[in-house]
């Protein structure tokens, strides 16, 4: 009887750890929604700081709600470690791939923009010659 309750308690704690890992993964994905546009569009420092501030406020509210819901407001170290592990996993594997893709996309968009500029400049030059005659 005691062994069953202990096994149940361990299952509950492991389930909480899995939820914490998922929470950390979710927060990392949320951060990507701020990081990808910043990398593509190159905002100024003030806009980057504002985005980071908004993310920190949202992340702290999410973490507070998570701890309030799953552990009645008591922060448990292993839940913080689980969140950190989930976020680290995202930034080491899919996040790295996403950043590589956004870097290549940015280079491609820049190349297209410059090519369009060269085409437009050539058209204006030809039009100028046509009007001059």
Domain ranges across the chain: 2-132
Report residue 89 as tokens. 């996993």
Is residue 86 packed enough to be buried (19+ CB in 10 Å), middle (13-18) or exposed (0-12)? buried
Q: What's the pTM value of the predicted model, to 2 decimals? A: 0.66
CB of 118 within 8 A of CB of 56? no
pLDDT, tens digit, for every residue of 111-130?
887 777 777 766 655 555 55
pLDDT tens by residue, 58-84: 999 998 888 888 888 777 888 889 999
CA atoms within 13 A of residue 99's CA, in its CB half-sphere: 15
């Amino acid at each position: 009887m005691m062994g069953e309750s202990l096994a149940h308690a361990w299952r509950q704690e492991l389930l909480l750890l899995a939820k914490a890992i998922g929470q950390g993964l979710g927060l990392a994905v949320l951060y990507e929604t701020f990081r990808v546009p910043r990398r593509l569009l190159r905002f100024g420092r003030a806009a980057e700081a504002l985005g980071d501030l908004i993310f920190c406020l949202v992340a702290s509210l999410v973490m507070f709600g998570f701890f309030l819901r799953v552990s009645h407001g008591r922060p448990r170290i292993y839940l913080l470690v689980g969140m950190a592990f989930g976020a680290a996993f995202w930034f080491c594997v899919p996040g790295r791939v996403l950043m590589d893709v956004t870097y290549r996309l940015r280079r491609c968009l820049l190349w297209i923009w410059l090519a369009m500029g060269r085409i437009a400049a050539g058209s204006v030059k030809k039009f100028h010659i046509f009007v001059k005659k």
